[in-house]
Amino acid sequence: MHNNFKRDDQMQVGLIGISGYGGTQLYQLLKHHPHIDNIHLYGHDLTKAKPVNQVIPGLIHESGTLVPYDANQIMAENDVVFFATSAGVTTKLAKPFLEHDFPVIDLSGDFRLKSGAMFTKWYHKQAPATAWLQQAHYGLADFSSAEQSNYIANPGCYATATLLGLAPVVMHQWIDPTSIIVDAKSGTSGAGKQLSEMTHFSNTNENLQIYKVNQHQHIPEIMQQLQCWNSDISAIQFTTTLVPLTRGLMSTIYVKVKTGISEQQVEQSFEQTFADKADIHYCHQKLPMVKQVVGTNYCDVGMVFNPVTKIITIVSVIDNLIKGAGGQAIQNLNQRFGFSLNQGLSLEPIWP
């Protein structure tokens, strides 16, 4: 059991929700982690076991088996469990793990927010109990440690790219806190596998589609973290666009600096903030493109200062399924169990 796990041991890991894009990517990453011995796969909606290669076309060469969900069995067989499920699922399934203080890394949005009312407002689903929400740790891995937490809420993909891009100027309080505008764009894998008219090939190909203006469910978690860094930030303007890519996410951020703040000060804040962040690459004024991070756990960030308008343009790019989901989940695993932060994440960009 997890209470007896030692850092030199080989881990037993449970994964619930492998059938989604995020869960499949997480499984592929876990397979190459040097401290993981076995990955046990569970389906929360299964009545009998199924070969994983019959459930997921992309895993046709796998020999593993997906077995029905049983919380007691999962806790008996594993040191930690990952949930890569849709919103609303862990609210219903997480109670036994919380009651037993069993290590959970949750890729869904159910436990990211500290307020149940906020969860219901933005996700339109029943919220977990407030006590459980307060207990969960928001795992923005590059800026917070999950070492002492047994319920880790993995951040959303848009939130990850946006927060990492904003961290230097918000933490240093260089900007007008009312001036944050975010124009974020993501490929179709971010929308999941569920079929819709919006993600139909004929609509997505050679097209751009703005969606969920002022309504995206990642807005409150972005605000929650920004206010931890600077309580003067009361709102952001946040827009998302679906672009004809499979993978990749770009968050373009516009902020106005306070009077008297120089370009040199802003530049130094980016350099200092990211100096010890192995997977965050500061590109200075050479603004990054999506292709340079696809297939990796990198977040590449660039910044351009306009001395006339005093507006900074920040561009932050990630692979939404790795840094925005499975890769960051592994970073949280590494922190929780005492491994180096980027263990198992030596990945190269898929280029071209």
pLDDT tens per residue, range 295-337: 999 999 999 999 999 999 999 999 999 999 999 999 999 999 9
Q: Note whether 76 and 171 are same-domain residues.
A: no
The whole model's pTM is what?
0.97
Instruction: Provide Rg for the chain, Cα atoms.
Output: 20
pLDDT tens per residue, range 34-85: 999 999 999 998 889 999 999 898 899 999 999 999 999 999 999 999 999 9
What pLDDT sits at residue 3?
A: 54
Which of the following is catalytic: 157, 228, 283, 299? 157
DSSP H helices, the chain, are: 21-30, 52-55, 71-77, 89-93, 95-99, 116-123, 130-135, 157-171, 201-204, 219-229, 263-274, 327-337
Please report whether residue 23 resides in a domain. yes
* Mean pLDDT (the chain, rounded): 96
Assign residue 217 the CATH number of its domain: 3.30.360.10
Nearest to 166 by CA among 50, 90, 266: 266
How many separate domains does the chain show?
2
Token code pair at residue 61: 């060469």
Q: Note whether 303 and 198 are same-domain residues.
A: yes
Please report whether residue 222 resides in a domain. yes
Q: Note whether 175 and 217 are same-domain residues.
A: yes
- 2, 111, 209 from 130: Cα distances, Å: 25, 10, 36
The residue to which tokens 């469910």 are assigned: 217
Nearest to 23 by CA among 58, 70, 50, 71: 58
Q: Note whether 212 and 129 are same-domain residues.
A: no
User: Which of the listed residues 102, 135, 168 is the one where a domain comes to its end?
Assistant: 135
Q: Note whether 50 and 199 are same-domain residues.
A: no
Statement: residue 162 has pLDDT above 90: yes
Least confident of 55-69, 232-246, 262-276: 55-69
Domain that residue 265 falls in:
158-320
Q: Note whether 268 and 307 are same-domain residues.
A: yes
What pLDDT sits at residue 1?
A: 40
150: DSSP letter:
S
Nearest-angstrom CA–CA distance, 85 and 14: 13
Token code pair at residue 67: 């077995």
- Judge contact between 166 and 301, C-beta under 8 A: no
Statement: residue 89 has pLDDT above 90: yes
Please report whether residue 345 resides in a domain. no
Please report whether residue 128 resides in a domain. yes
Token code pair at residue 225: 């973290």
Token code pair at residue 347: 């990945």
- Judge contact between 316 and 251, C-beta under 8 A: yes
Please report whether residue 141 resides in a domain. no
Assign residue 18 the CATH number of its domain: 3.40.50.720
Nearest to 1 by CA among 112, 145, 102: 102
Token code pair at residue 151: 């319920």
DSSP 231-253: TT----EEEEEE-S-SS-EEEEE
Q: Note whether 202 and 119 are same-domain residues.
A: no
DSSP 191-219: G-SS--TTTSHHHHTT--EEE-TTT-TTH
129: DSSP letter:
P
Whether residue 283 lies in the annotated active site: no
Nearest to 27 by CA among 18, 35, 19: 18
- Judge contact between 141 and 119, C-beta under 8 A: no
- Judge contact between 223 and 155, C-beta under 8 A: no
Q: Note whether 86 and 164 are same-domain residues.
A: no
Q: Is the dihedral of CA 90, 94, 98, 102 positive or negative?
A: negative
What pLDDT sits at residue 194?
A: 82
Nearest-angstrom CA–CA distance, 290 and 316: 9
Give SS3 for 120: helix
Residue type, 345: L
Nearest-angstrom CA–CA distance, 242 and 188: 7
